[in-house]
Amino acid sequence: MSDYQAVMSRKAQIIRDAVGIDYDRFRTGRMTFDYEGMMAQTGYGLEEIIAIQRASGVGGTPLLEMRNLTQLSRATAPAGHGARILVKDEAGNPSGSFKARRASVSVHHAKRHGYPGVLAATSGNYGAAVASQAAMQGLPCIIVQEVYDSRGVGQPEIIEKGRVCEAYGAEVVQLTVGPELFYVALKLLEETGYFNASLYTPFGIAGIETLGYEIGREVIERYGRAPDVVVVTHAGGGNVTGTARGLAKAGCTATVVVGASVDLRGLHMASDRDFNRKSFTTGHTGFGVPFATWPDRTDVPINAARPLRYLDRYVLVTQGDVFYTTEALAQLEGLERGPAGNTSLAAALALSRELPTGGILVVQETEYTGAGKHPSAQLTFARESGVTVQLGDPALNVPGKVISIPDSPGQIQVRDFDLGAVRRSYLRNAVNHFGLAQVSAGEIEFLTEETRADAQFVLGVLQELGVECPG
């Protein structure tokens, strides 16, 4: 049977067949699991992954110093402040984004293990990356996208990405916003026997580790020390997780990992009304907050992206900040790049002012741009959707109502999102999801690793929630 309930009831078996991982073998208790054991399930070490990626033209992207943007930051910073800003130019990958790193490992694995094709459920750059890598490997590819609201209106950026997927030869299945995305993907996986090139498997996260590793090694080789801060655009958590793990493998254990998202609080990402009232399809709080507070809301049983394990700080920028930064990057550095990477670059302009001039701050990705991704297309679409676009203080931004683009770079500020509150939400979700009335010492240890908090914090929150804890 292929109705919604029937397909969803077979989810575990469909995913096991489509990924080739028995997730149950890593479960060590009702909520605990062996995270590192699951990550090792890829069977590929770092050097082997680098070789896989180089064979398909992925990785080895340039690390560029943003001299003019650094001067712009210093001009608005306190005396003696304004860290050097570097950008890892991931637009140099075959599909134009860092997600080629994720896709390369998944598609290689699918080819190696005899899957007849690959499938991914995504409306973003990842679809283009999977389609590109599948074309190289000679594998059929299906991309399932959420594109339209109930009126049949789609955002320019999502339509642009669908066009790119089709250009690489993929079959693109386009849906309206709603709960059907994973259902349709599961149904197609079962019908085709394709590999599930999910964003959230160990294969995908291991592919990003090379990005963090390259950044760490290249900064050390060029400047003699590790970067002080690496800023990562945060959405579903894979970017943060893979980059941080790669930095650690490069020996950069003291580097501060900062996640940055566009502040779209107040908009519901599954809302038909709100779907087209946002100008960013990824790298925003609609993904960043839910996936940090509960990662396992995905198309696999255990998400390999665990952002709370790796985030040192989480900051927000406005839509206006990112539009301003996109133009500044093009006009001051001669680089025209897409919106997702410019989210972390907008944060970097503000974060640079917090560090001394001798500091090193790295923005870990750029992405390609195209007709639907350009600020002109996005802002025109916003106006047509009833959003006011104006110049002025970005603090006047109201998601879904007002986009206020800064008059000057000094107006770009980051707003810290309380990681303590995120950790509390994660623990509350764990209690509710597993129906916890009491926990063991081992479960406390697991939750401290999951939230990157100390045991006293975890115990305190659980006790506030009425959970009996070990004495």
- In the chain, the amino acid numbered 276 is N
Residue 247 has pLDDT above 80, yes or no: yes
Q: How many CB atoms lie within 10 A of CB 26?
A: 19
Average pLDDT estimate for 154-171: 94
Residue 270 has pLDDT above 90, yes or no: no
| pLDDT of res. 104 | 98
| pLDDT of res. 272 | 87
Average pLDDT estimate for 263-287: 90
| CB 370, CB 164: distance < 8 Å | yes
| pLDDT of res. 216 | 98
- Label residue 410 by pLDDT band (50, 70, 90): very high
Average pLDDT estimate for 34-42: 95
| pLDDT of res. 268 | 86
Provide the H-helix boundaries in 250-401. 285-293, 319-333, 339-351, 375-384
Average pLDDT estimate for 253-278: 93
| pLDDT of res. 135 | 98
Question: Which stretches of 139-296 are assigned E, i.e. beta strand?
Answer: 141-148, 171-176, 195-196, 229-233, 256-262
- DSSP structure class, residue 303: -
| pLDDT of res. 8 | 85
Average pLDDT estimate for 91-96: 97
| pLDDT of res. 371 | 86
Distance CA 279, CA 285 (A): 13
- In the chain, the amino acid numbered 302 is I
pLDDT cut 70: percent of the chain above it: 100
Residue 364 burial (10 A CB sphere; 0-12, 13-18, 19+) = buried
Distance CA 454, CA 462 (A): 13
Tens of pLDDT, residue by residue over 426-456, are 999 999 999 999 999 999 999 999 999 999 9
| pLDDT of res. 313 | 98
Question: Which stretches of 22-170 are assigned E, i.e. beta strand?
Answer: 63-65, 84-88, 118-121, 141-148
| pLDDT of res. 124 | 80
Average pLDDT, the chain: 95
| CB 104, CB 282: distance < 8 Å | no
Residue 12 has pLDDT above 90, yes or no: no
Top pLDDT among 136 and 270 is at 136
Residue 422 has pLDDT above 90, yes or no: yes
Tens of pLDDT, residue by residue over 44-62, are 999 999 999 999 999 999 9
